[in-house]
Amino acid sequence: MKYRIWIAMLFTCSCFFCQCRYVAFRAFTNPVTDKICSSALLEDVKELYEKISIAHPDIYRHVDQKTLDSLYVELVNGCSEDQTLLSFVGSVSAFLQALKDSHTFVSLRELLPYQSLKRHYLPMRLMEQEGNIYVVKSFKNRLPSGVQLLKVNGFSVDSLLRIAPGFTPKESLAESAFALFQTHVVSALINLYNPKKRNVYQWYDGKDTLEQPLKSPCFSKIHRHDFFHGEAVDIRYTREGNVAILKIGSFSPKNLKRFRKQLDEVFQDILDKPTEKLVLDLRFNSGGFIVLQEYLMSFLVPENTVYTSTYVYKRSPYDRFAQLSKLERRRFIQTAERFYPRGAISRELDFYRKPMGSLDTVRNSPVLKNRMAKSFLGPCNLLVNEGSMSASANFTAWFMEKHRGEVFGSAVSGTNAGTFANPHTFFLPNTGLPISVSTMKVNLDSGAEKELPLIPNHVVIPTPKELQLEIDSVMNFAINH
């Protein structure tokens, strides 16, 4: 421990004698102002390119090798000069955007923990309409919902919106979702550039332009809050008259068995009581386990319905099998050998035994079933937005392809062709930035002739007035439609 402290002090003291830092210690590095040495950045981008080349299962799906190599050269050339962490994240993002894989990215929010003891952070959710930025919701309503946000400490919010595209992950042809996601980047940029305890915010409430200093909580405390991470509850079930409302915040619960049990209980209630329709809310569901996505599907179609997709794997030290614990790996092998040579799990075992670097495609056609052996086949509406990603995007594609019901909200971060999956996170050695890299591709058997973005049947965008009154216009539309 004393040795680590000594090393940290050594690098910190070195800042007095040079213009840059070789190692970006989180406790001491300001991500907006402190520069990282060019040589350190070059080492990091080399590591980045090597890890992606090793792990990614379909790196040239959306970009040819010549273009990607050219972009990598640009990235290297850009790192020939010292950069701040913020600038470096922008450079790396520009390179990764070419893959059009939202699972392979570096998040701007990963800069927030740097100097976390000094940093303050005001969580907020924003939306853009006709070039204006509106507050959807903020922590403890310190910024009124529905107002147009103009400036923070005298700097225009519009200027941040203009640079936000360079930091926003891309997903295939989902351009509408890409545009909507940029406001989430703006909220992170606001807090990165304004880390003080008190910041002066200026907004327009429809009548007057107001300016007020607002207190931001300490980041070391607020980062544990639900507002920062998203909905804490995986499943929330309510009723409004004869309308059943099921919100699923994530397909990545802490307890898979409990998640299934909760779904069993929900659909038992739906089947036992008069139900006019089911409204299924997957807004801001960023995905998770495919088996839970399939379990939800099993309640919405006739028994013994088959769901077909293909998994593209690349054998690497970072694939889904390498991420299993020794116990989980042993159980997988034992289960696969018991069914061998039948089923997709047997083909996965064949792939697992292949040498590193091998590519394989496994066709998966599970029969959708649940422990109750029951289904709700009545009317069903689905709510989605740009935060519906990965497993929830694939669910949306299936829902639309099966014509299971109507879809409300805004564009999803995915297409009818499926998404990448099972990202592995590794840390760059000098900047300490976590990089997420896909290790698997899910291709959906949609039957469509070409890949298409997932656009709702009814695009519903709340008005500033509805935001002020805290009216969920998307939910109201779906219930009353």
Domain residue spans in the chain?
A: 2-98, 124-227, 235-480
Average of per-residue pLDDT across 64-86:
96
pLDDT above 60 (res 10) = no
Distance CA 479, CA 277 (A): 8
177, 453 contact by CB (below 8 A): yes
pLDDT above 50 (res 387) = yes
- Specify whether domain 124-227 bears CATH 1.10.3470: no
pLDDT interval class at 224 (50, 70, 90): confident
Angle at 159 between CA 153 and CA 161, to 5 degrees: 115
Average of per-residue pLDDT across 136-145:
94
Check residue 388 and give its pLDDT.
96
Strand intervals (E) in 216-335:
235-240, 243-248, 277-281, 309-314
- Please name which of 30, 28, 34, 33 lies closest in space to residue 4, comparing C-alpha atoms: 28
Average of per-residue pLDDT across 148-175:
96
Distance CA 247, CA 25 (A): 40
pLDDT interval class at 341 (50, 70, 90): confident
- Please name which of 177, 141, 136, 221 lies closest in space to residue 462, comparing C-alpha atoms: 136
Average of per-residue pLDDT across 41-69:
96
Check residue 228 and give its pLDDT.
61
- Per the structure block, which two tokens stand in for 267? 């659909």
Task: Report the amino acid identity of residue 397.
Answer: A
pLDDT above 70 (res 198) = yes
Check residue 14 and give its pLDDT.
46
Distance CA 96, CA 435 (A): 10
- Please name which of 332, 239, 247, 248 lies closest in space to residue 292, comparing C-alpha atoms: 248
Check residue 15 and give its pLDDT.
46
Indicate the angle between helix axes 38-55 and 65-78, nearest 10 degrees: 160
Average of per-residue pLDDT across 122-128:
95
Check residue 4 and give its pLDDT.
43
Q: Give the tens place of pLDDT for each residue, 77-114.
A: 999 999 999 999 999 999 999 999 999 999 999 999 99
pLDDT interval class at 18 (50, 70, 90): low
Sign of the dihedral through C-alpha 364, 366, 368, 372: negative
Instruction: State the pairing for strand pair 406-409/458-459.
Output: parallel
**In 29-109, alpha helices (H):** 38-55, 65-78, 85-97
Total-model pTM? 0.91
- Please name which of 318, 235, 250 lies closest in space to residue 56, comparing C-alpha atoms: 318
97, 165 contact by CB (below 8 A): no
Q: What is the mean pLDDT of the chain?
A: 92
pLDDT above 90 (res 245) = yes
The residues that bridge with 236 in the sheet, in sequence order, are 247
Residue 113: count other Cβ atoms within 10 Å of its Cβ.
Answer: 15
Phi, psi of 289 (to 5 degrees): -75, 130
Question: What is the dihedral angle through the alpha carbons of 69, 75, 81, 85, rounded to the nearest 10 degrees?
Answer: -150
The residues that bridge with 306 in the sheet, in sequence order, are 367
pLDDT above 70 (res 417) = yes
324 alpha carbon, distance to own chain's centre: 22
Percentage of the chain lying above the pLDDT 90 cut:
81
The residues that bridge with 126 in the sheet, in sequence order, are 135
Average of per-residue pLDDT across 222-241:
78
Percentage of the chain lying above the pLDDT 70 cut:
95
Q: In the CATH scheme, what is the code of domain 235-480?
A: 3.90.226.10
pLDDT above 90 (res 1) = no
Check residue 84 and give its pLDDT.
97
pLDDT above 90 (res 262) = yes
Longest pairwise C-alpha distance within the chain: 74
Give the C-alpha distances (Å, rounded to integers) separating 353 from 11, 137, 346.
45, 50, 11
Question: Of 15 and 380, which is predicted with more confidence?
Answer: 380
Average of per-residue pLDDT across 308-329:
90
Question: Of 153 and 227, which is predicted with more confidence?
Answer: 153
pLDDT above 70 (res 17) = no
Strand intervals (E) in 22-176:
35-36, 83-84, 124-129, 132-138, 148-152, 155-156
CB under 8 Å to 80, separation ≥6 — which residues? 38, 42
Average of per-residue pLDDT across 456-472:
95
3-state secondary structure of 328: helix
pLDDT above 60 (res 416) = yes
pLDDT interval class at 343 (50, 70, 90): confident
Average of per-residue pLDDT across 114-127:
93
Task: Report the amino acid identity of residue 290.
Answer: I
- Per the structure block, which two tokens stand in for 435? 């990089």
